[in-house]
C-alpha cells in the first residue's frame, strides 16, 4: 500500500497521508515521498495550489514513527538521525514553499502532524480536530518547528502547551491562530471540490464554508497561563502553580509532575529560544541537534516503554525532579553539532 498518495487534478496537486492503522504517523519513506512530490510540483507552472489531507480513518497525523526512533536511539541512533534530517527538510520545504498549501487538519494532529500542517498558508480545523504536542510525556520535546510555532503564540501559551502537552480542539486552534478556518467536517469534500475547480479563490471558498466555532475553552485560562508560566525555569513555574489556590492550577501541576523533568527543561528552552531565532532554518538546525541527542537518552526509552510498549503509563524518570536535572547536561543537549553532522535545508 502506498503510504503517500499523490495526484494532480488540473491546477491542483493532492498530497494525502495513507497509513490509517498508524493514524498516518510519518516514517522516513513517507517524508521522502512528500518531499519528492513537492519538489516536482514547485517546478510545474500549471500547478497553482497543493491540498494536504489524509485518505481515511481518524488521522490527520499522529506524529512520527516513535517505535523506530526508540529502537534506533537504543543503538547507534543513525536511523533516527536520518528520519529527523528528512522530516525536518520536509518541514522546512513546506514552510518555504512557493505555492499556497491548504492543510485539512481533520482529526488527530500531534507532533509530526503539527510539523506538516502549521507551515500551510491555510490551516483548516473541524469539530474532529485534536491538536497537541505531547512529547514531554515520552521524554521528548515539541520538535518539527514546535519551538518556532509555539513561541509565536500570544503570551505564555507556547510554554503551557509545550510543557503540559494539553490537547486543543478545533475551536481552540482557531482562537489561538493555529488554524485559519473552522469548517464542519461534512463541508470538507465541498471545499476540496470547489478549490479544485477554482484554486485561485481558495481563501474565499474556505471563508464562505466557515462556521462560527464553539467557545474556545482555553481562553478562560489565558490570564492564568500568562501569569503562571512566566517563570524563568521549570522550578519557578512549579512554585507558581503550587501557590495558586485553584482546581485548574492543581490539575495542571499534577499533569506537569507526570512529565519527564528533563524533557520539560528542554521544551521550555526550545520555546524561549525559538522567539529569537533569525529564521525557520536556524530553528530546525537547533531542533535537529537536540532531537538526535534526546532520542538516545534514558528518559525517551522509558517514556516509550511506559506509554507505547507496556502501556502502564507509569514512567520512572531519571532525574525524577526538575531540581535534580543538571543544567550542564541541558547545555550539552543544546550545543551546536559539528558542521559535518549539522542539519541543513
pLDDT tens, residue by residue, 280-308:
999 999 999 999 999 999 999 999 999 98
The total of structural domains in the chain comes to: 1
For residue 107, is it within any domain? yes
Domain interval for residue 240:
4-334
For residue 339, is it within any domain? no
For residue 126, is it within any domain? yes
pLDDT tens-digit readout, 77-130? 889 899 999 999 999 999 999 999 999 999 999 999 999 999 999 999 999 999
- The CA-atom distances, in angstroms, between 341 and each of 77, 81, 270, 285, 289 are 13, 10, 20, 10, 9
Dist. CA 159–CA 176, nearest whole Å? 14
Q: Which residues sit opposite 103 in a β-bridge?
A: 52, 123
Q: What is the DSSP secondary structure assignment for residue 61, as one 8-state letter?
A: E
Dist. CA 127–CA 106, nearest whole Å? 8
Catalytic residue numbers read: 64, 112, 135, 143
For residue 340, is it within any domain? no
Q: Give yes or no for residue 57 having a pLDDT over 80.
A: no
For residue 344, is it within any domain? no
For residue 342, is it within any domain? no
CA dihedral 308, 291, 161, 135 (to 10 degrees): 10
% of the chain surpassing 70 pLDDT:
100
Grid coordinates given for 253: 501541576
For residue 341, is it within any domain? no
Question: Pairing state of beta strands 130-132 and 168-169?
Answer: antiparallel
pLDDT tens-digit readout, 140-186? 999 999 999 999 999 999 999 999 999 999 999 999 999 999 999 99
**Count of residues making up the chain:** 345
For residue 92, is it within any domain? yes
Q: CATH number for the domain including 33? A: 3.90.226.10
pTM over 0.85: yes
Amino acid at each position: 500500500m502506498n503510504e503517500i498518495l499523490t495526484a494532480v487534478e488540473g491546477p491542483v496537486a493532492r498530497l494525502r497521508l495513507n497509513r490509517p492503522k498508524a493514524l498516518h504517523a510519518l516514517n522516513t519513506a513517507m517524508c521522502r515521498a512528500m518531499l519528492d512530490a513537492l519538489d516536482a510540483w514547485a517546478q510545474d507552472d500549471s500547478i497553482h495550489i497543493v491540498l494536504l489531507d489524509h485518505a481515511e480513518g481518524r488521522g490527520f497525523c499522529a506524529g512520527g514513527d516513535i517505535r523506530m526512533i526508540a529502537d534506533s536511539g537504543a543503538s547507534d541512533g543513525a536511523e533516527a538521525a536520518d528520519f529527523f534530517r528528512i522530516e525536518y527538510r520536509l518541514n522546512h520545504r513546506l514552510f518555504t514553499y512557493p505555492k499556497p498549501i491548504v492543510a485539512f487538519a481533520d482529526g488527530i494532529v500531534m507532533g509530526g502532524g503539527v510539523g506538516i500542517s502549521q507551515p500551510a498558508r491555510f490551516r483548516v480545523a473541524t469539530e474532529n480536530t485534536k491538536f497537541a504536542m505531547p512529547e514531554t510525556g515520552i521524554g521528548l520535546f515539541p520538535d518539527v518547528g514546535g519551538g518556532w510555532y509555539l513561541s509565536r503564540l500570544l503570551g505564555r501559551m507556547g510554554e503551557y502547551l509545550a510543557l503540559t502537552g494539553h490537547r486543543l480542539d478545533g475551536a481552540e486552534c482557531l482562537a489561538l491562530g493555529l488554524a485559519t478556518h473552522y469548517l464542519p467536517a461534512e463541508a470538507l469534500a465541498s471545499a476540496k471540490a470547489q478549490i479544485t475547480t477554482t484554486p485561485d479563490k481558495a481563501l474565499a471558498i474556505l471563508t464562505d464554508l466557515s462556521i462560527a466555532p464553539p467557545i474556545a475553552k482555553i481562553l478562560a485560562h489565558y490570564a492564568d497561563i500568562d501569569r503562571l508560566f512566566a517563570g524563568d525555569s521549570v522550578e519557578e513555574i512549579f512554585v507558581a502553580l503550587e501557590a495558586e489556590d485553584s482546581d485548574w492550577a492543581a490539575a495542571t501541576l499534577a499533569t506537569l509532575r507526570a512529565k519527564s523533568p528533563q524533557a520539560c527543561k528542554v521544551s521550555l528552552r526550545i520555546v524561549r529560544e525559538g522567539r529569537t531565532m533569525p529564521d525557520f532554518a536556524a530553528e530546525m538546525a537547533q531542533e535537529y541537534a537536540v532531537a538526535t541527542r534526546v532520542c538516545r537518552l534514558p528518559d525517551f526509552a522509558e517514556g516509550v516503554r511506559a506509554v507505547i510498549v507496556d502501556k502502564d503509563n507509569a514512567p520512572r524518570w531519571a532525574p525524577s525532579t526538575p531540581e535534580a536535572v543538571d543544567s550542564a547536561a541541558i547545555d550539552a543537549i543544546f550545543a551546536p553539532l559539528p558542521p559535518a553532522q549539522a542539519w541543513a535545508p
